[in-house]
Amino acid sequence: MSGGVDSSVAAALLLREGYEVVGCFMRLGSPGESLDELQPDATPSNGTEGPGCGGARLKIGHQGCCSINDAADARLVAAKLDIPFYVCNFKKDFGRIIDHFVAEYNAGRTPNPCVRCNDWLKFGKLHEYATQIDAQFVASGHYARVEHDPVHGRHRLLRGIDLDKDQSYVLFGVRPDRLARTLLPIGGLRKPEVRALARELDLPVFDKPDSQEICFVPDNDYAGLIARRTPEAVKPGAVLDGAGRVVGEHPGQQHFTIGQRRRVGVALGHPIYVVDRDPEANTITVGPRDALDRDACVAREANWLVDPATIADHDGWIRCQAKIRYNSPPVAARVRTTGDASIEVRFDKPQFAIAPGQAVVCYDGEVVIGGAWIA
C-alpha cells in the first residue's frame, strides 16, 4: 500500500471479495522519510501477530511514491479498513535501483527505474516476503489485468481497461510463474470509478493527486542526483552536429536523452534534437527530427509472458503491436528472438527517438507477449 488511492481501493475491493488482506508499505529511504516516524519493520499497526501468522492470506504491494506522508496515509487507510499493516525495510534493495539508474545515465542510456522497481521489489522481493507470512497472493493498485488462459493453462497479463492509465508496460518484467500469484483488482476499472469508490468507502485518500515524478528524484533533477552520487562522471563536453563539427558545449551528457529538443543550449537557426549520446567521448550530437527515425531496434534481457514458439511463423517472426516508451501508443511491428535473451523488433513504419535504456514491450491485442530493454 503506497498511500495512494489506487492501492487503497485495491485493498478494499479484495476485502469485499472475502480475502484476508495484509497491507504492506515498502520503506525505501526516500527524501523526507524519517525512520523514527515509521512503524517498526514487520510489525502490524493493529497489534495482530507478526510475520508467519497462519491467518494471513494476501499481501498488498506498494505502487507509487514512498515518502513519510505516504506511509502515514497508507496506515490511515489500513486502520479504516481494519487490516494489519506492515512496513518492510527495502532501503538496501532500493539502493540497487538507484545505483542502476545512475549507471545507466552515465553509460549514455535512459533508464526506467519504475519497471526495475516492479521487477526487483514489488513483484520480486515482496513476493518472497509474502511467502514468509504465508500469503498466497501479492496484489497492487496497477491498471492492468491478470487472467487465466484455459487454452494454454497459464496466466497472462493484459492491458488495463482504462487505456489512459494502462500500466501493463511497466509490468512486462514480472516472472511468468509469479503471474498466478498476482492480483490486480482495479485493472478492470477506470480512474474516475476508482476515485468514486474511494469516496463511497470514505477512504481519506479519495482525492489525493497521483504521483508524477520518480520517487527518489522529487525535483526531477536527474543530472543533479547523478552528479551528487558520481561527481567525477558529470563534466562538460562538446555538442556536435551531424558532420561531427563542434557547435557548442554541454554541462554533461547525463543532462540529455535521445529525442530531446528543449534546453539543448545550442541555436542553429532551425529546430534541432539530441540524436546521439557518446558517454566515452562525453559528447552529444544534434540534428533534424528525421535523423531520429528508426525502423528497428535490438533489445536484451527479454522476458516472455507467452511462449514465442507457439505464436511465431516459420521464419520465427511474431506479428505484434510494440510500445517503445511508457507514454507512446502501441504500433504495428514484428518481433523475433535472436538468442541469449535478446529480441529484434521491426516496425511497419519508422519510429521517432528510440532511446537505449527504455523498454520495448510487445502486445497481441490486449495481451502482453513480452518485452526487453532496448540496446
**Amino acid identity, position 95:** G
- CATH class of the domain whose range is 235-287: mainly beta
Whole-angstrom Cα distance, residue 194 to residue 208? Answer: 12
pLDDT, position 207: 87
Catalytic residue among 24, 65, 66, 215: 215
β-sheet bridge partners, residue 319: 334
Do 2 and 141 meet the contact criterion of CB atoms below 8 Å apart? yes
pLDDT, position 36: 35
pLDDT, position 53: 28
Do 28 and 71 meet the contact criterion of CB atoms below 8 Å apart? no
Residue in 106, 87, 110, 100 with CA at minimum distance from that of residue 33: 87
pLDDT, position 7: 96
pLDDT, position 212: 66
Contacts 24+ apart (CB under 8 A), 287-295: 287/241, 287/242, 289/352, 291/242, 292/258, 292/259, 292/352, 292/353, 292/354, 293/350, 293/351, 293/352, 294/347, 294/350, 294/351, 294/354, 295/346, 295/347, 295/349, 295/350, 295/351
Strands 342-352 and 182-183: unpaired
How do the domains of the chain map onto residue ranges? 5-200, 235-287, 292-374
53 classed as catalytic: no
pLDDT, position 52: 30
pLDDT, position 37: 37
215 classed as catalytic: yes
pLDDT, position 219: 80
Beta-carbon count within 10 A of 40 CB: 10
Instruction: Name the grid cell of 140.
Output: 497492487
pLDDT, position 48: 31
What sign does the dihedral 361-362-365-369 (CA atoms) show?
negative
β-sheet bridge partners, residue 191: none
CATH 2.160.10.10: does it fit domain 292-374? no
pLDDT, position 343: 98
Low-confidence residues in the chain, pLDDT < 50: 31-64
Catalytic residue among 24, 65, 114, 117: 117
Whole-angstrom Cα distance, residue 74 to residue 5? Answer: 9
For domain 5-200, give the CATH number: 3.40.50.620
Q: Which residues contact 154 (CB under 8 A, 6 or more apart)?
A: 148, 176, 179, 180
